[in-house]
């Protein structure tokens, strides 16, 4: 009988939510003109409606089912361009999967919050309010643009997002968390900084997924920290954010990609600690120095896919290490392989074909790239491990074998790649580069077993 009542309650609650959403869409279609303002108003009202879920649903199942139904409904409306609701919900010509990411982001946040009310309400409220207001402020007052995949965002919009997110998180956590005022303020600032990075790096509607889920994961990691630990985390978050933006001129990344670096380093810090964030910062700051001089003036060229290429292998070793330094050497080898590929990817090896001993010149060029990148990554690593755990004989072997693995992986990339303008920032280039870095780090692991 209790089970039947639970199912009936879930069905009634789901029907109520769907009825409210349909009513909102109908009212906006009837009484507003199609514009970005109306679309963001729908976004905000849908998000605020989702805040009721913890009180309506006692288990994740109805939320998951509801998210699937809403995704199908919105996708169907998007496909029927003649519908009266189409211009109210969707921007003509814009490529986006936001209609799927929104319900997916909300349902994942509900599931992953594991019944902790503050961990669900704060991220979804940030998605509903900060995302909507920042877009409108960016459109109205934005004058300083930065590139993201397939478009651009404004500095003014991102600042509006941060302040709205901070206020939203503060109010949510103040009402729902038993923590002290100082603890809540630090949590709200950390959540706002992380959410701003996740929103700034997103494109094509993915912010509807990245913002709530990313903010939740950050809150879940830091919520149990003491005030002293939380103050250290806040200092790291602020310092990393400012440092990466200050060093952007030393890279060739778009603005959105630079914010993705911020997000990646936050992940490194939370999963591994300070030792794991120094090496990607060194690679980021050295990017332009690694490239041949003729490419020194390239600016805002590489997108978030370059960051994902580096981050994918790094996050694998972070998860495998489980908050220890057991796999930091394969991790460092992967980063050094990326550095060597950066240094050699633009080298036209066929330029040596008319030279005497051309094969030796090609190998010499690759060796120089490998040693340059190896020294940039492994010298800081020696200091990190030396001060924390000391350097064992096994560590010394790994350090001096690393150039071999880096060379093999870099040579594999260079000899199987035809460099051209269309390839330099293509997704296939970054997939291949990430795969070669994974091979280099795997060789580093196998070579010391």
Residue 1 binned pLDDT confidence (cut-offs 50, 70, 90): very low
Flag whether pLDDT at 274 surpasses 90: no
pLDDT score of 8 = 55
**Tens digits of residue pLDDT in 393-441:** 777 888 888 999 999 999 999 888 766 555 566 777 888 999 999 999 9
**Tens digits of residue pLDDT in 126-150:** 999 998 888 888 888 877 878 877 7
pLDDT score of 5 = 44
**Tens digits of residue pLDDT in 74-92:** 777 666 655 555 555 555 4
Flag whether pLDDT at 343 surpasses 80: yes
More confident residue, 414 or 347: 414
- Among left, alpha and beta (phi > 0; psi -120 to 50; other), residue 158 is alpha
- Record the tokens describing residue 184, joined without a space: 């809540």
- Who contacts 421 (Cβ-Cβ below 8 Å, separation ≥6)? none
* Residue with token string 């060029």: 365
Nearest Cα to 165, choosing from 206, 215, 204?
A: 215
Mean pLDDT along residues 193-204:
90
Flag whether pLDDT at 198 surpasses 90: yes
Average pLDDT, the chain: 81
pLDDT score of 110 = 94
**Tens digits of residue pLDDT in 110-123:** 999 998 999 999 99
The CA distance from 51 to 120, in Å, is 8
């Amino acid at each position: 009988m209790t089970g039947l009542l639970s199912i009936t309650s879930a069905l009634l609650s789901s029907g109520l939510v769907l009825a409210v959403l349909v009513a909102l869409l109908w009212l906006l279609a009837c009484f507003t003109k199609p514009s970005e303002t109306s679309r963001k108003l729908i976004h905000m009202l849908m998000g605020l409606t989702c805040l009721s879920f913890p009180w309506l649903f006692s288990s994740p199942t109805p939320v998951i089912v509801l998210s699937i139904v809403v995704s199908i409904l919105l996708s169907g409306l998007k496909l029927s361009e003649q519908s009266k609701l189409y211009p109210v919900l969707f921007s003509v010509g814009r490529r986006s999967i936001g209609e799927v990411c929104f319900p997916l982001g909300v349902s994942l946040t509900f599931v992953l919050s594991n019944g902790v009310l503050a961990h669900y309400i704060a991220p979804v409220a940030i998605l509903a309010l900060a995302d909507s207001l920042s877009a409108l402020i960016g459109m109205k007052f934005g004058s300083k643009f930065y590139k993201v995949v397939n478009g651009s965002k404004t500095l003014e919009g991102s600042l509006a997002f941060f302040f709205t997110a901070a206020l939203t998180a503060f109010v949510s956590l103040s009402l729902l968390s038993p923590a002290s005022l100082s603890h809540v303020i630090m949590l709200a600032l950390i959540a706002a900084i992380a959410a701003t990075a996740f929103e700034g790096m997103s494109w094509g509607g993915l912010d509807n997924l990245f913002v709530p889920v990313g903010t939740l994961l950050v809150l879940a990691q830091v919520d149990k920290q003491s005030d002293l630990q939380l103050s250290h985390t806040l200092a790291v978050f602020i310092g990393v954010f400012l440092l990466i933006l200050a060093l952007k001129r030393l890279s060739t990344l778009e603005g959105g990609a630079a914010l993705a670096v911020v997000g990646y380093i936050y992940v490194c810090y939370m999963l591994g600690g300070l030792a794991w964030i120094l090496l990607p910062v060194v690679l980021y700051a050295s990017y332009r120095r690694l490239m041949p001089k003729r490419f020194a003036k390239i600016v805002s060229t590489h997108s978030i896919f370059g960051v994902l290429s580096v981050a994918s292998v790094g996050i694998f070793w972070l998860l495998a290490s489980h908050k220890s330094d057991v796999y930091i050497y394969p991790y460092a080898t992967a980063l050094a392989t990326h550095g060597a590929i950066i240094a050699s990817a633009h080298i036209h090896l066929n330029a040596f074909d008319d030279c005497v001993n051309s094969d030796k010149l090609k190998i010499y060029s690759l060796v120089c790239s490998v040693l340059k990148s190896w020294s940039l990554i492994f010298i800081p690593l020696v200091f990190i491990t030396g001060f924390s755990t000391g350097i064992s004989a096994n560590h010394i072997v790994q350090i001096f074998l690393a150039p071999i693995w880096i060379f093999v992986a870099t040579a594999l990339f260079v000899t199987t790649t035809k460099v051209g303008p269309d390839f330099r920032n293509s997704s296939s280039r970054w997939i291949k580069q990430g795969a070669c870095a994974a091979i280099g780090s795997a060789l580093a692991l196998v070579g010391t077993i």
